[in-house]
């Protein structure tokens, strides 16, 4: 029985680590594409719809809209929301120009 319990502990530690790190990596193009189509909510209460993230830089993001590349300063973004990504609902906010990812927030 002790061997079984020790075996379960060794198996559960990597699974817990994998579950906690299962977030999109915003520096990988494949993860940005997997986010799908979303909306950018600007700080002046305007919304840019039907966007796909292309790249996140230090002070701005590059996105695709209508098959063209556009950019916007991070300071002007309140949040970016993706409703149907492979991770479910994803919201990205920026604090001190660092992206923070929330998965399935209420």
pLDDT in tens, 78-105: 999 999 999 999 999 999 989 999 998 6
Per-residue H/E/C for the chain: CHHHHHHHHHHHHHHHHHHHCCCCCCCCHHHHHHCCCEEEEECCCCEEEEEEEEEECCCEEEEEECCEEEEEEHHHEEEEEEEEECCEEEEEEEECCEEEEEECCC
Structural domain containing residue 52: 24-103
pLDDT at 6: 54
- The answer, yes or no, to whether residue 26 has pLDDT greater than 90, is yes
Report if residue 12 sits inside a domain: no
Report if residue 18 sits inside a domain: no
| Counted domains in the chain | 1
pLDDT at 18: 45
The pLDDT of 39-59, averaged and rounded, is 97
pLDDT at 19: 46
Q: What pTM was estimated for this model as a whole?
A: 0.77
């Amino acid at each position: 029985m002790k061997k079984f319990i020790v075996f379960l502990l060794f198996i559960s530690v990597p699974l817990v680590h994998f579950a906690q790190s299962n977030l999109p990596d915003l520096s990988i193009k494949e993860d940005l594409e997997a986010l799908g189509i979303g909306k950018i909510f600007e700080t002046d209460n305007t919304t840019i719809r039907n966007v796909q993230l292309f790249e996140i830089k230090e002070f701005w993001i590059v996105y695709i809209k209508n098959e063209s590349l556009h950019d916007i300063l991070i300071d002007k973004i309140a949040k970016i929301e993706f409703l149907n990504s492979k991770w479910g609902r994803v919201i990205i906010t920026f604090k001190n120009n660092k992206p923070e990812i929330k998965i399935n927030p209420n």
